[in-house]
Amino acid sequence: MAHPPVPNPGIRADSAARTPITPGSAPARWGATAVFAGGSTLLSGIGELTTNVAGGPGTREGDPTGLVTDAVVLLDGGRVAWAGPAREARDAVGRALGGREPDVTVDAGGRAVIPGFVDSHTHLVFAGDRAAEFEARMAGRPYAAGGIRSTVAATRAASDDDLRAGLARHLDEAARQGTTTVEVKSGYGLTVADEERSVRLARERTPEVTFLGAHVVPAEYAGRDDAYVDLVCGDMLAACAPHARWVDVFCETGAFTPEQSRRVLQAGADAGLGVRVHANQLGPGEGVRLAVELGAAAVDHCTYLTDDDVAALAGSWSAGGSPAGVPGTVATLLPGVEFSTRQPYPDARRLLDAGAVVALASDCNPGSSYTSSMPLCVALAVRETGMTVAEAVWSATAGGALALRRDDVGHLAPGARADVVLLDAPSRTHLAYRPGVPLVAATWKDGARLPARENPGPSR
Ligand code: NIG
Ligand code: FE
């Protein structure tokens, strides 16, 4: 296997996961209802384990994906207690459990195990769909930012319970495809009340909530863009910040200018929010460099990049590229968008070869990318953006964690959250090799196994 040239800045075998699990906190309510909370689970008979831990037990020197063959993972109390080769497991598991037997044992039967996917970019608080717009695109009409406004109208008209139900349905759909951490943005409300409602409802399900009041200028502010930016930076931000961790802006022709974007991001940062940016999706622009300059955790889309953009992204990870102790800016690619809009795919190879850090995310939304499937994103990234399988799986797990500045997910070191996916396949390669096939056999979130979906079978 080719070793990904990507750096693995946040994750080392000796890194301690720091974020505590608070009983009853949002992550425990993520996705489908778990059937087994607490206790220990021993996953044995793993043919191929991706830990994303460089230098962990049984890994090969210099492999950022920390691949282990014939492996075992022990989950205990919602955390990974141990992960490594079967030949070391008896002693290591005994030590980790202090002589206790595991509560549950699962034989993977030679199948592959990976960390749960970290989907760092979705827009899941919305109502309605835009199938007709998609159909028109497939008949030749180009994608434009303005389509967002039709989802805004449907979202404003929806009840809280309708929005909650849609969010729950999409989160459940994602969980069944192996997503165990998800970011959710607002951006289809675009009034103070509707944006506040969006971030509040998102916060009921995930701690990774992003305020995207600056998604597009709503129809009632047509021709008064700056007045809308004033609202976003003023009353709207004040109402939304208590529910959000991040601020985001769509910096693109037809949405917000670099100057307006800077105002929004600076106001969000001043309110204590972390910065992330939508940029360079529909054409070249200043968004990527603005994101790097402001120390954004991630800049997403990155479809149209100049050499300067690539150098800025890579430079943010080099010594002195960011303030001491602050990670650089992740380039998050969203290949579901190019699939659904017939735009050219971004060039991951160019970014990786330059030393940038790349994440993959779904961008699940009813307009530009109506998929919640991280396995599909991995397949598209491998087929269309120049990534190796190892790089794509790393980017969809550890890369997503870096894009959210999380050190407790995206890898399987002792102390990390017990977010684990068992694939119905002998290797992670099958994620790209068998596109469109449901390959997730089981998912554990915080050590709890998500229930198997009732499957009536094709003949009933
Ligand atoms: O990330 N680019 C801006 N926002 C979304 C699209 C939203 C929509 O079309 O409804 C995106 O692609
Ligand atoms: Fe988006």
Residue 273 phi/psi, 5-degree rounding, is -90, 150
In whole angstroms, give the CA distance from residue 174 to residue 118.
Answer: 10
Average pLDDT over residues 61-66: 97
Both structure tokens of 422: 């068992």
Task: Grade residue 322 by pLDDT with cuts at 50, 70 and 90.
Answer: confident
Asked whether 433 and 375 are in contact (CB, 8 A), the reply is: no
Percent of the chain with pLDDT over 90: 86
Instruction: Give the distance, in angstroms, between the CA of residue 365 and the centroid of all CA atoms in the same chain.
Output: 13
CA 214 and chain centroid, separation:
20
Name every protein residue with a CB atom under 6 angstroms from any ligand 1 atom. 123, 147-148, 151, 250, 278, 281, 337, 363, 365-368
Please give the torsion angle defined by the CA atoms of residues 101, 106, 109 and 110, in that order, rounded to the nearest 10 degrees.
-80
- State in Å: Cα 204 to ligand 2 middle: 20
From the alpha carbon of 255, which atom of ligand 1 is closest?
A: 3
DSSP, collapsed to helix, strand or coil, labels residue 31 as coil
CA–CA gap between residue 220 and residue 85 (Å, rounded) = 60
Q: What is the pLDDT of residues 88-142, one digit of tens each?
A: 999 999 999 999 999 999 999 999 999 999 999 999 999 999 999 999 999 999 9
pTM of the predicted model, to two decimals?
A: 0.92
Of all protein residues, the one whose alpha carbon is nearest to atom 8 of ligand 1 is: 367
In angstroms, the CA 60 to CA 411 distance is 16
Q: What is the DSSP string of 204-226?
A: TT-S-EEEEEESS--GGGTT-HH
Kindly state the tokens that stand for 300: 């997403």
* C-alpha–C-alpha distance, residues 141 and 363, integer Å: 21
Quickly state the pLDDT bin for 143 (edges 50, 70, 90). Answer: confident
φ/ψ of residue 441, rounded to 5 = -85, -35
- Separation of alpha carbons 78 and 458, rounded Å: 35
Mutate to test the pocket of ligand 1, among 123, 170, 364, 371 (most ligand atoms within 8 A of CB): 123
Question: What DSSP designation does 26 have?
Answer: G
Give kind and range of the element (H or E) at residue 4: none
pLDDT surpasses 80 at 236? yes
* pLDDT confidence of residue 37: 53
pLDDT of residue 6: 37
Ligand closest to 252 (CA) is 1
Residue 38, pLDDT score: 66
Q: Tell the residue nearest (CA) to atom 5 of ligand 1.
A: 368
pLDDT the model gives residue 2 = 35
Q: What is the pLDDT of residue 20?
A: 31
**Can you name the residues that pair with 333 across neighbouring β-strands?**
360
Work out the mean pLDDT of the chain and round it to a whole number: 91
Length of the chain: 460
Contact 209, 225 (CB under 8 A): no
40-50 and 67-76 beta bridge pairing: antiparallel
Q: What is the pLDDT of residue 5?
A: 36
